[in-house]
Amino acid sequence: MLRALTIFILLLSAATAFSQTKTYLKGNIFLYSNDTPVPGATITNLNTRQSSVSTSAGTYQIPASNKDIIVFSSSGLKSDTVKVEEQLLKTGYDVGLTVDGKLLKNVTVTSSYQLDSLRRRGDYAKIYEKQPGLTGGNTPEAGFGLVLSPISYFSKRAKKTRQFRKRLKKEEEDAYIDYVFSPMWVSKLTGLKGDSLHLFLYQYRPTYDMARMLDRPSMIAYINDRYKEFIRKKD
C-alpha cells in the first residue's frame, strides 16, 4: 500500500512539473484600423498542429514553444504569421488584423503575375494558338475536318515552333512557382537570409504541380517542415 502511494505521489509530481513547463503564447486579436476585438479568430500552431479560437473579447492563448510558427486567421481578414521567440512567451503577442490588406496585396501581386502571363500570351499569341501541321477549315477543338500534313509537321520551322512553345510553357510554370514560393515570403517565415536562403530555395523549390495543389496554409506548413529538415541537416 505504501509503495503504491509513493508511486502515485511521484507520478503526480511528474505531471505537475510537466504542466508547469508547458508554455503558452497569449495576447489579443483586434482590427488594426480601429482596435475592435476580433472574436472567433483561429490560431494554429503549425509545428504541433494544435488550434484554438479567440474569445468574445478577442483574447487568445495557445500552447507554443520557441521557434514555433503560429498563424492567426479570421474570415475576411488578412492572416498574420509569427515565429515564436522566447521573449514573446513572456510578454505576449497582440495581433492587428487588417480587412483590405490581403485583398489589396493579392490584387497587386496576382495582377502583376497575371499581367506578365497575359503579356507573354499576347506577344506570342500565334505560337500559343497555332497548331503546326494541321490543315483544313476547322479548328482543333472541333475535332473534325482536320488533315495532318507530314511535310509541315516535321519541317524545321514546325519543330522550332514546338520547342519554343515548350519553353514558353516552362517559363509560365516557373513564374507561378516564383509567385507562390517567393524569396521575400520564405525569408519572412523562416528568418533565413543570404546564402542560407538561396540554398533553401534551391533545395526545396516545389514542382509546378505541387505549387498549384497547395493552398496558402498548406504551403506555409510545407515551408515550415522543410525548414526544420534544413536546420537538422546543418546541425
Residue-by-residue DSSP string for 45-91: ETTTTEEEE--TTSEEEEE--TT-EEEEE-TTS--EEEE--HHHHHH
CA dihedral 73, 208, 177, 115 (to 10 degrees): -100
55 with 95: CB under 8 angstroms? Answer: no
Residue 40: inside a domain, yes or no?
yes
Residue 163 scores a pLDDT above 90: no
- The lowest-confidence range among 99-113, 138-152, 171-185, 210-224 is 138-152
71 with 217: CB under 8 angstroms? Answer: yes
Looking at per-residue pLDDT, the higher value among 216 and 138 belongs to 216
User: Percentage helix, strand, coil, to 5, in the chain?
Assistant: 55, 15, 30
Per-residue pLDDT tens over the stretch 57-97: 889 999 999 999 998 888 777 888 899 999 999 999 999 98
Residue 4: inside a domain, yes or no?
no
Residue 125: inside a domain, yes or no?
no
What pLDDT was estimated at residue 65? 93
- The dihedral through the CA atoms of 77, 64, 45, 87 has a sign that is positive
Percentage, residues of the chain above pLDDT 70:
63
Per-residue pLDDT tens over the stretch 97-131: 887 454 444 444 444 555 555 555 554 455 445 55
Residue 43: inside a domain, yes or no?
yes
**DSSP letter (8 states) at residue 24:** E
Integer distance in angstroms from the first to the last C-alpha of the chain?
49
Residue 67: inside a domain, yes or no?
yes
Q: Total domain count for the chain?
A: 1
Residue 195 scores a pLDDT above 60: yes
Residue 21's pLDDT band, with cuts at 50, 70 and 90, is confident
The boundaries of the domain holding residue 36 are: 23-97
Per-residue pLDDT tens over the stretch 210-228: 988 988 888 888 888 899 8
Residue 78: inside a domain, yes or no?
yes
What pLDDT was estimated at residue 180? 86
Residue 83: inside a domain, yes or no?
yes
**DSSP letter (8 states) at residue 97:** E
Burial of 23-49, coded b for 16+ CB within 10 Å and e otherwise, reads eebbbbbbbbeeeeebeebbbbbbbee
Residue 173's pLDDT band, with cuts at 50, 70 and 90, is confident
Averaged pLDDT of the chain = 74
Distance set, CA 96 to CA 8, 31, 54, 162 (Å): 46, 5, 13, 51
Rounded CA-CA distance 146/54 in Å is 62
- The lowest-confidence range among 22-26, 92-96, 153-157 is 153-157
Rounded CA-CA distance 181/219 in Å is 8
Residue 93: inside a domain, yes or no?
yes
> Between 194-203 and 183-190, two packed helices, what is the crossing angle to 10 degrees?
110
Rounded CA-CA distance 115/47 in Å is 36
User: Residue 83 belongs to a domain with what CATH number?
Assistant: 2.60.40.1120
pTM above 0.95, yes or no: no
